[in-house]
């Protein structure tokens, strides 16, 4: 093996190998950095506590004089909901189930307390953006899990509590405080304990499990017809111009900023895909440079290679020096690219934390997996091309 390597390395062009090394390093670095930046930035645009939030739009009908006089003019009919689901830009669409019964909730703190009339809504569990094992209801436990919007807590702390000299509450504290909840309807009245199990950034309502809502509406308002005045729509491409045109034509509107946030998320997806594509093209060009260099090297050693084959050397023995060379180069490229990405990530995450103090960087597991996959793919292509070329001799 050493003898074969000494014989064949005489015509190796260092400049050509350097060109491959630099191009391959640049391509792999661009791909890996793009993947990691995308993983780190996506939670900032998708919102909520989920890492890979989908693009959801909260859809309502515009309120005007006609809908106010009509009473139920803001309710989506089954035909309208089905029409929305048939649109090309809609993946799923479901309604917010409202409470058809009376709800009173109260809380006590240090001998003082207050109670207020309120409402509940529910959506299918797949739309809830708070991960909790407590999101279930059992009528025998008499405990209602509740999710409230995070901005409700901010309104209490910086508005209500401050004006009345009440203590401000953190998420952890309010989550440990039981609520006194009274449900009433159809001549029935029952008391429950409410537990706030999470805070939502996506859904601006007071959420209870769908299982509880179905039970409570059946128990306290069995004769009432439940209609949907709000829909939660999962959009495929939030930047699709048909969304705005369709909603405007139907006199529908979305919650403020939701459509813009979806467009930002789509732009981030497109930008990342474009950068990764450029990186992959550079990797492909570097592979072409390496193959060209090896083909030229094999051509220069054509007579030597044929003589080695004639005296009994196998093609695998002759191909191995070139294959080992590409493996070593690809391995060095992979290590340097990973180190460079981690260095860049250290700088941009520190910068992001200065802008968003609550910023939390994403996982690096996918980055490592992508790097290994690129290394194996490029190495496999190199090894296969070298073997095919030598077999042709």
Q: pLDDT tens, 252-295?
A: 888 755 556 556 666 767 777 777 777 677 767 766 766 666 66
Give how many domains the chain has, as a whole number: 2
Tokens of 249: 């034509």
Residues 107, 175: one domain?
A: yes
236: pLDDT strictly greater than 70: yes
CA dist 289 → 21, 108, 120, 286 (Å) = 9, 74, 64, 5
Task: Determine the structural domain holding residue 327 and report its residue range.
Answer: 2-48+263-391
Instruction: For residue 275, give every residue at least 6 positions away whose Cβ sits within 8 Å of its Cβ, in sequence order, or none.
Output: 30, 34
List the alpha helices (DSSP H) in the chain: 2-8, 14-46, 65-70, 78-85, 150-155, 161-163, 171-176, 210-220, 241-249, 258-300, 302-310, 315-355, 365-391
Mean pLDDT of the residues in the chain: 78
Cβ atoms of 307 and 55 closer than 8 Å? no
pLDDT band at 244 (very low <50, low <70, confident <90, very high): confident
Cβ atoms of 231 and 203 closer than 8 Å? no
Tell me how crowded residue 86 is: count the other CB atoms within 10 A of its CB.
9
Residues 114, 173: one domain?
A: yes
Q: Residue 75 falls within a domain, yes or no?
A: no
Residues 282, 338: one domain?
A: yes
Residues 124, 37: one domain?
A: no
Q: Which of 285-289, 305-309, 343-347, 367-371 has the highest mean pLDDT?
A: 343-347
Residues 211, 292: one domain?
A: no
Question: What is the rounded distance in angstroms from the CA atom of residue 94 to the CA atom of residue 80?
Answer: 12
Q: Residue 172 falls within a domain, yes or no?
A: yes
376: pLDDT strictly greater than 50: yes
Residue at token pair 């996918």: 366
Q: Residue 23 falls within a domain, yes or no?
A: yes
pLDDT band at 52 (very low <50, low <70, confident <90, very high): very low
Answer with the residue of higher pLDDT: 26 or 85: 85
Give the per-residue pLDDT at 47: 46
Residues 118, 23: one domain?
A: no
Q: Residue 114 falls within a domain, yes or no?
A: yes
Cβ atoms of 361 and 349 closer than 8 Å? yes
pLDDT (average), residues 293-315:
70
pLDDT tens for residues 163-179? Answer: 777 777 787 887 788 88
Tokens of 365: 């597991």
Cβ atoms of 210 and 125 closer than 8 Å? yes
240: pLDDT strictly greater than 50: yes
188-200/252-254 β-pairing: unpaired
pLDDT tens for residues 101-159? Answer: 999 988 776 666 678 888 899 998 888 877 767 888 888 888 999 998 888 888 878 88
Residues 219, 106: one domain?
A: yes
Tokens of 392: 């042709």
Residues 375, 268: one domain?
A: yes
* Nearest-10 crossing angle of helices 365-391, 315-355: 160
Provide the β-strand partners of residue 181: 105, 192
Q: Residue 106 falls within a domain, yes or no?
A: yes
Residues 44, 138: one domain?
A: no
Q: Residue 88 falls within a domain, yes or no?
A: no
Provide the whole-model pTM. 0.53
Residues 209, 282: one domain?
A: no
Cβ atoms of 81 and 228 closer than 8 Å? yes
Residues 205, 267: one domain?
A: no
What percent of the chain has pLDDT above 90?
10
90-95/252-254 β-pairing: unpaired
Domain boundary (226, 250, 275) is at: 226
Domain boundary (226, 250, 281) is at: 226
Q: Residue 188 falls within a domain, yes or no?
A: yes
Residues 221, 269: one domain?
A: no
Q: Residue 381 falls within a domain, yes or no?
A: yes
pLDDT (average), residues 386-391:
75
């Amino acid at each position: 093996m050493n003898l074969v390597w000494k014989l064949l390395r005489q015509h190796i062009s260092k400049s050509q190998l350097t060109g491959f090394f630099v191009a391959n390093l640049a391509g792999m670095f661009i791909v890996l950095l793009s993947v990691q930046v995308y993983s780190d930035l996506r939670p900032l645009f998708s919102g909520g506590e989920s890492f890979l939030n989908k693009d959801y739009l909260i859809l309502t009908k515009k309120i005007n004089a006609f809908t106010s006089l009509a009473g139920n003019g803001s309710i989506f009919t089954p035909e309208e909901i089905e029409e929305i689901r048939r649109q090309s830009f809609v993946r799923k669409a479901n309604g917010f189930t409202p409470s058809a019964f009376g709800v009173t909730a109260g809380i006590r703190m240090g001998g003082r307390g207050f109670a207020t009339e309120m409402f509940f809504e529910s959506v299918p569990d797949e739309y809830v953006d708070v991960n909790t094992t407590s999101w279930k209801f059992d009528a025998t436990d008499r405990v209602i899990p509740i999710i409230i919007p995070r901005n409700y807590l901010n309104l209490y702390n910086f508005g209500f509590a401050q004006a009345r000299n009440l203590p401000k509450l953190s998420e952890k504290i309010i989550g440990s405080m039981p609520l006194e909840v009274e449900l009433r309807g159809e001549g029935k009245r029952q008391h429950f304990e409410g537990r706030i199990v999470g805070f939502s950034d996506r859904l601006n309502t007071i959420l209870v499990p769908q299982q509880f809502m179905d039970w409570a509406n059946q128990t306290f308002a069995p004769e009432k017809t439940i209609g949907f005045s709000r829909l939660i729509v999962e959009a495929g491409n939030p930047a699709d111009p048909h969304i705005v045109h369709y909603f405007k034509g139907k006199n529908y509107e979305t919650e403020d900023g939701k459509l813009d946030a979806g467009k930002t998320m789509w732009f981030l997806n497109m930008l990342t895909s474009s950068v990764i594509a450029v990186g992959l093209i550079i990797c492909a060009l570097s592979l072409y440079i390496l193959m060209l260099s090896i083909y030229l090297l094999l051509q220069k050693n054509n007579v030597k290679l044929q003589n080695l084959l004639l005296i009994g050397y196998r093609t695998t023995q002759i191909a191995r020096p070139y294959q080992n060379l590409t493996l070593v180069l690809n391995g060095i490229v992979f290590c340097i690219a990973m180190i460079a990405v981690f260095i860049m990530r250290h700088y941009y995450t520190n910068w992001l934390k200065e802008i968003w103090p609550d910023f939390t960087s994403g996982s690096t597991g996918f980055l490592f997996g992508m790097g290994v996959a690129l290394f194996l793919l490029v190495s496999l292509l190199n090894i296969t091309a070298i073997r095919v070329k030598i077999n042709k001799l």
